[in-house]
Amino acid sequence: MPNVTLAIPKELHEKMKQHSEIRWSAVIRKTIAERIEALEIMDRITSKSKLTQADVEEISSKIDSAVAKKLGLK
């Protein structure tokens, strides 16, 4: 199995050391696997889309504006 080196803030490392019973590498492997699965699902969904990047950006902008207006930020 390949190894990956990970840099984390010292404060986080100290908190992790307080829970030495947890196999942190297993937690990280599971988290990465879950994220990859979500990305693969997203890729399958978007691969069938006929929207262009410009279309996506326009829709995103409209959603952002609507949310900001609803929250009273705009």
Q: Is the pLDDT of residue 38 over 80?
A: yes
Over 90: is that where the pLDDT of 36 sits?
yes
Structural domain boundaries enclosing 56: 24-70
| Rounded-to-integer distance, Cα 61 and Cα 74, Å | 13
Look-up of token digits 């990956």? 4
Determine, yes or no, domain membership for 15: no
**What is the value of pTM for the model shown?**
0.66
User: Does the residue 41 lie in any domain?
Assistant: yes
In a domain, 63, yes or no: yes
- Which pLDDT belongs to residue 74? 75
Length of the chain: 74
Residue whose tokens read 């990970």: 6
Q: Which pLDDT band, with edges at 50, 70 and 90, does 46 fall under? A: confident
Is residue 9 one of the residues assigned to a domain? no
Cβ–Cβ under 8 Å, residues 46 and 38: no
pLDDT tens-digit readout, 48-61? 889 898 999 999 99
Q: 8 Cβ partners below 8 Å, 6+ apart?
A: 16
Asked whether residue 39 is domain-assigned, the answer is yes
12 falls within a domain:
no
Tally of structural domains, the chain: 1
In-domain check, residue 65:
yes
Structure tokens at 66: 């609507």
